[in-house]
Chain A
Amino acid sequence: GAVVSQHPSRVICKSGTSVKIECRSLDFQATTMFWYRQFPKQSLMLMATSNEGSKATYEQGVEKDKFLINHASLTLSTLTVTSAHPEDSSFYICSARSGQGHGELFFGEGSRLTVL
């Protein structure tokens, strides 16, 4: 299947700093990517839909100034957690839909963010 790569897999930062997470589609172009947040033993919560060349679409309750999304190319979307606080600690996962086959959704490896 298609490959989506996410980096970094783990990051620890101090409160007040910003952290950038990258999501790349390695073998296909993705005009749309999705960012999810997952709490322990819970489901995937869609945060926003990242659209190449335009503004991201945020889900209700997600602060767009807090979680900056940039989708500058057909293979790269970034999520920046600005002025991170301990409550932002979570598992963040990106995904992209392949244009081949049936358009399945493929996930990145996920990024574990810990804010001290």
Chain B
Amino acid sequence: GENVEQHPSTLSVQEGDSAVIKCTYSDSASNYFPWYKQELGKRPQLIIDIRSNVGEKKDQRIAVTLNKTAKHFSLHITETQPEDSAVYFCAAYGNQFYFGTGTSLTVIP
């Protein structure tokens, strides 16, 4: 089955700086890679996703890149704000969703 690894597990940045979270996957058949943001005690919310036929996607301060050859994809958050503080999960989908272990992001004001 698929194996999704996510790094780092915790990340602290100063407000205004950029944050990068990286994930790798093992199954070359995976073709859809969403990223979720989960605030404490709340449901995961889809923030951005990318499909295997695209290398990069951007939505305002958030961007995702995908390297199919290396089987890794990354989340980039620019100009971070305190409200970006949350746990972020990557996922890979082939025939079902497999989640990374999560990254706890803290943005220091």
Contact = CB atoms under 8 A, between A and B. Distances in A.
Contacts of A107: 36, 43-45
A34 B96 CA distance: 10
B46 A1 contact: yes
Of residues B44, B49, B101, B102, which shows the largest number of chain A Cβ atoms within 10 Å of its Cβ? B44
Contacts of B42: 109-110
Contacts, number: 48
Which secondary structure characterizes the binding site on chain B? strand
A2 to B, nearest CB: 10
Chain B interface residue number, banded? 20 to 34
Query: For B36, B43, B89, B97, which residue has the most chain A Cβ atoms within 10 angstroms?
Result: B43
Contacts of B46: 1, 104-106
B49 to A, nearest CB: 7
Contacts of B102: 41-43
Nearest to B9: A41
B44 A112 contact: no
B99 A43 contact: yes
Interface of A: 1, 34, 41-44, 46, 49, 91, 93, 95, 102-110, 112
Given A103-B32, A107-B43, 16 more contacts: A41-B102, A41-B104, A42-B102, A43-B102, A44-B89, A49-B96, A93-B43, A95-B97, A104-B46, A104-B49, A105-B97, A107-B44, A107-B45, A108-B43, A110-B41, A110-B42
